[in-house]
């Protein structure tokens, strides 16, 4: 999701100096970079040999390894689950006051809050991940692909739609069209809008999103920096590995539009997403495996990133992420030559020590890597070294 660091040195220094003069906290100094990932900011300071800036920005939020870290919820890197903070969920819930039917696209945290406030069931959640809710227990949760897989019965059903897609242009294009189909005439659509700094192309992508929004809706407006996120589990570990406390640093804006009386648009029939991911639980953690075998140097399992079993970024454009056909809720990214066999191994594991039973049937390097991942996923507390 995040871009390589491209701001000029002097620009970065000016920005940081200004923030320091205003006595901003480490997290607020990071937020000044408008979505640029803290790991990228820190790497850039190190590359420029500005250790004084590393200290100024990260000194108050640094961690010393090894570090004992508690994971309280296992978030999904494949579907880009970035959870709203409680304060943001409350703020968004307020926006729905006065509306009698609410459709949420990819917003389980908000669903959790609204279903407590409105037990009558006029709030529906459409999401592909059923980790937090099961359809059997919550009939107003619909497990589906928002980009194209919603039943027609929901057409023109909601007075307000709130959406938070993965931060990529193709997702926005499909999700906005779905929202247009779901919302009643006169209703409103509210979408999270990622900030300009997340990657080099983000400014143009935002323009394209806003242009599509104004084709689909009337009265479009944008409010920047009003949505705050918690750092998801897979990114917490990546930050800790990089010596940064997993503070909540990410924020975004909102784009709002109304559905006028123009002719209803057809829903998107975009077909996307190559290979499907299979999910398995591994103790407390979640592991995601793609069926397509990866190219490895003759090993069963390798790290997808050259230097670490943790990806430096969960961005779909990150080279390690592109190579990874095995990912976890705790930031691991691996390349596996035989994904079907890996699924079979996991299915036969009842405890972490079962990993020892595969000794001899897998070469040593892969076995050691798998053992490390299993022991890092099984418990709720992990020691990051
Ligand atoms: C950026 S997160 C938003 C989460 C939100 N901030 C919250 O706290 O409730 C994206 C959400 O969209 C869901 N998602 C991603 N791709 C999807 C798809 N194609 N169809 C349905 N849901 C999808 C993810 O499971 C995740 O819940």
Does a structural domain hold residue 361?
yes
Question: Does pLDDT of 162 surpass 60?
Answer: yes
Question: Number of folded domains in the chain?
Answer: 3
CB neighbour list of residue 129: distance below 8 Å, 6 or more residues apart: 76, 79, 81, 108, 143
Element (DSSP H or E) covering residue 212 = helix 202-216
Q: Residue 184 burial by CB count (10 A; 0-12/13-18/19+): exposed, middle or buried?
A: middle
Does a structural domain hold residue 132?
yes
Does a structural domain hold residue 18?
yes
CB neighbour list of residue 382: distance below 8 Å, 6 or more residues apart: 68, 69, 71, 237, 330, 376
The answer to whether the CB of 127 is under 6 A from ligand 1 is yes
CA nearest ligand 1 atom 11, residue = 106
Q: Which two tokens stand for residue 1?
A: 């999701």
Domain match, 118 and 56 both: no
Question: Does pLDDT of 175 surpass 50?
Answer: yes
Q: Which two tokens stand for residue 126?
A: 């459409």
Domain match, 188 and 288 both: no
pLDDT of residue 265: 46
CA nearest ligand 1 atom 13, residue = 106
Tell me the pLDDT band of 261, cut-offs 50, 70 and 90. Answer: low
Domain match, 145 and 222 both: yes
pLDDT higher for 121 or 96? 96
Contact present, 41 and 5 (Cβ < 8 Å): yes
Does a structural domain hold residue 78?
no
- The CATH number of residue 95's host domain is 3.40.50.150
Average pLDDT over every residue of 178-207: 96
- Out of 22, 46, 62, pick the residue that ends a domain: 62
Domain match, 224 and 368 both: no
Average pLDDT over every residue of 99-108: 97
Domain match, 230 and 112 both: yes
- What residues are paired with 254 via a beta bridge? 192, 223
Q: What is the pLDDT of residues 62-92, one digit of tens each?
A: 999 888 999 999 999 999 999 999 999 999 9
Question: Does pLDDT of 287 surpass 90?
Answer: yes
Question: Does pLDDT of 266 surpass 50?
Answer: no
Pocket of ligand 1, candidates 83, 127, 131, 168: which has the most ligand atoms within 8 Å of its Cβ, to mutate? 127
The closest of 22, 60, 57 to 39, measured between CA atoms, is 57
Domain match, 285 and 234 both: no
Does a structural domain hold residue 52?
yes
Phi, psi of 282 (to 5 degrees): -130, 95
Question: Does pLDDT of 12 surpass 80?
Answer: no
The answer to whether the CB of 254 is under 6 A from ligand 1 is no
CA-107 nearest atom, ligand 1: 9
Domain match, 288 and 248 both: no
- Out of 207, 223, 258, pick the residue that ends a domain: 258
Domain match, 201 and 110 both: yes
Distance of CA 98 to the CA centre of its chain: 30
Domain match, 281 and 157 both: no
Domain match, 43 and 90 both: no
The answer to whether the CB of 83 is under 6 A from ligand 1 is yes
Q: What is the distance in A from the centroid of ligand 1 to the CA of 81?
A: 6
pLDDT of residue 7: 52
The pTM (predicted TM-score) of the whole model is: 0.90
Domain match, 366 and 238 both: no
The answer to whether the CB of 288 is under 6 A from ligand 1 is no
Domain match, 155 and 241 both: yes
Tell me the pLDDT band of 8, cut-offs 50, 70 and 90. Answer: low
Does a structural domain hold residue 173?
yes
Distances (CA, A) of 240 to 301, 345, 359: 24, 29, 31
Does a structural domain hold residue 74?
no
CB neighbour list of residue 353: distance below 8 Å, 6 or more residues apart: none
Question: Does pLDDT of 379 surpass 60?
Answer: yes
Measured CA angle at 266 (ends 262, 269), to 5 deg: 155
Residue 199 lies in domain = 86-258
Tell me the pLDDT band of 198, cut-offs 50, 70 and 90. Answer: very high
CA nearest ligand 1 atom 16, residue = 79
């Amino acid at each position: 999701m995040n871009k390589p660091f491209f701001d000029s040195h002097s620009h970065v220094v000016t920005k940081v100096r200004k923030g320091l003069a205003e006595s901003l906290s480490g997290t607020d100094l990071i937020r000044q970079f408008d979505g640029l990932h803290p790991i990228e900011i820190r790497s850039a300071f190190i590359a420029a040999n500005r250790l004084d800036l590393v200290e100024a920005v990260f000194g108050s939020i640094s961690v010393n390894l090894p570090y004992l870290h508690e994971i309280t919820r296992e978030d999904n890197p494949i579907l880009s689950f970035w959870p709203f903070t409680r304060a943001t969920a409350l703020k968004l819930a307020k926006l729905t006051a006065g509306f009698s039917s609410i459709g949420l696209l990819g917003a389980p945290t908000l669903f959790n809050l609204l279903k407590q406030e409105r037990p009558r069931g006029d709030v529906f959640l459409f999401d592909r991940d059923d980790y937090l809710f099961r359809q059997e227990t919550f009939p107003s949760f619909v497990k589906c692909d928002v980009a194209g897989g919603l039943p027609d019965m929901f057409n023109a059903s909601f007075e307000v739609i709130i959406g938070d897609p993965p931060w990529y242009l193709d997702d926005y294009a499909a999700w906005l069209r779905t929202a247009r189909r779901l919302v009643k005439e006169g209703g409103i659509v509210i979408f999270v809008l990622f900030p300009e700094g997340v990657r080099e192309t983000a400014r143009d992508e935002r323009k394209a999103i806003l242009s599509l929004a104004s084709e689909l809706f009337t009265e479009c407006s944008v409010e920047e920096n009003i949505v705050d996120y918690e750092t998801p589990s897979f990114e917490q570990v990546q930050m800790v590995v990089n010596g940064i406390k997993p503070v909540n640093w990410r924020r975004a804006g909102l784009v709002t539009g109304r559905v006028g009386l123009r002719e209803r648009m057809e829903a998107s029939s975009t077909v996307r997403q190559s290979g499907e991911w299979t999910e398995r639980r591994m103790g407390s953690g979640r592991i995601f495996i793609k069926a397509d075998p990866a190219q490895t140097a003759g090993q069963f399992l390798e790290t997808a990133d050259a230097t670490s079993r943790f990806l430096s970024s969960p961005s779909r454009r990150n080279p390690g992420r592109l190579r990874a056909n095995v990912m976890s809720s705790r930031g691991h990214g691996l390349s596996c030559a035989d994904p079907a066999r890996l699924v079979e191994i996991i299915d036969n594991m009842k405890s972490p020590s079962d990993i020892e039973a595969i000794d001899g049937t897998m070469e040593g390097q892969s076995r050691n890597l798998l053992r490390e991942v299993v022991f890092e996923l099984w418990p709720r507390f992990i020691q990051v070294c």
